[in-house]
Structure 1
């Protein structure tokens, strides 16, 4: 246990450039205090001294602002940065070299006994304020963005952001939620489809629907123009007339009058 604690403290220097000395880390890092408490409390839990383990974990919570259930399984070199408000549930399993920031919750979504909390594999980073809820697995080296709410499995080496959480990058490549057809139409409209990856899902779905509708309308217009050209050889397909700023002047004047 002591060698494991030594590794936990050494990991602070690897992941926090503000750490300057062992004394400073031992005195001023609540994340280190919390993991020291937990290593001891988890042993008590394994020895079936569960009430004592729970009581000691509450002392640690009062002392550090970090709540770790003594039943949680935590691997080597676990680092909690800043720490205030971190909650880790009883059946959570955390691998080696995992980092979590302040306000993170590894919680459950069920009152049933058994596995209720997430499993974080090696090398996972969970950003400040993120909520990882449920008995699923977050794959190795995955990244969960700040304030994300994740309720389903995350693949290895993926980056998840948003509410609800969605994968926006995997294995170093951006994940685009649009088809090639939708992206091409978006470019015509002056809209950056790639930017939607950072929007909430509701917004992304709405924009997808608009793009699909616009594409369908374009296809209908092309068919109509084709039929008209067959009926009248003199019929010409011309580009739409470009709108000018002065075309919007009456609308702006009306808006100003309504505001006034």
Structure 2
């Protein structure tokens, strides 16, 4: 048990450069929330639902992280900072990282019967802060969801999802050359942000403004009247015309 705890704390330290020691990591709200969830989930699987909910409420009061006792969570799960909600039928694989203010929310079943209604996060997934993953969808292995993205459809393995509604940037995980990308957004760290941001609205607006200025300048030059021809030049032209 001590070795598993040490390995878990080391896995967090590999993803977060802030802590100076393992003892500091033990104060993280995400660590406390996961530990209390293990207890609540054990009670939940034993059909001690009231006690499971009691532990869940205690955990939420202490950590500001709400993990339903029924959620299934794998090894080395790390919630950075907190303020996260994870629903009852959510399933989380190994080595998953979630940043603050993330929701793994459920859809309302049309038949009124409770079933699988929350997301499944496979191994190595990273969810950026403020992201909303809604419904019984699957986020594939090593996929990344950028900050404030809203994901309503399945995410292919290794994809990066950004935007509202989230869309894939089609950057395969094999090209990143790194196991961990903070906040699920591989920008300005060995990657060109334009490569992973297909919507470059601000850049395009600046280019359009520059083109408009150039067109206006060309039009102004064409509309300027030609300077009057000096009398000497007119005489020279007349003589040349007569000789020709």
TM-score normalised by length of structure 2: 0.70
Counterpart CA distance in 1 for 2:21 and 2:196 is 42
Distance in structure 2 (CA, Å) of the matches to 1:196 and 1:128: 17
Listed one character per residue, the Cα deviations across residues 169-200 of structure 1 (whole Å, up to 9, x for unaligned) are 231599xxxxxxxxxxxxxxxxxx97972369
CA distance in 2 between partners of 1:60 and 1:24 (Å) = 19
Runs (5+) with no aligned partner, structure 1: 175-192, 201-241, 249-260
Moved more, 30-39 or 3-12: 3-12
SS across alignment from 1:198? coil
Q: Alpha-carbon deviations, 1:98-150, whole Å to 9, x = none?
A: 00000000001214400000000000000000000010110000000000000
Structure that is richer in helix per residue: 1
Deviations 1:43-72 (A, max 9, x none): 011111111101110110010010000000
Higher Rg: 2
Give 1:11 shift: 1.7
Structure 2: how far apart are the matches of 1:4 and 1:124?
A: 21
Asked if structure 2 preserves the Cα contact closer than 8 Å seen for 1:121 and 1:137, the reply is yes
Q: Distance in 1 between matches of 2:73 and 2:7?
A: 13
Gaps of 5+ in 2: 176-193, 202-213, 221-244
Which protein has greater RCO, CA pairs closer than 8 Å, 6+ apart?
2
Contact 2:142–2:173 (CA under 8 A) maintained in structure 1: no
When normalised by structure 1's length, the TM-score is 0.66
Which residue in 1 is equivalent to 2:85? 87
Count matched residues: 188
Q: 1:136 to 1:156 in 2, by over 3 A?
A: same
1:23 aligns with 2:23: yes
Give 1:19 shift: 1.4
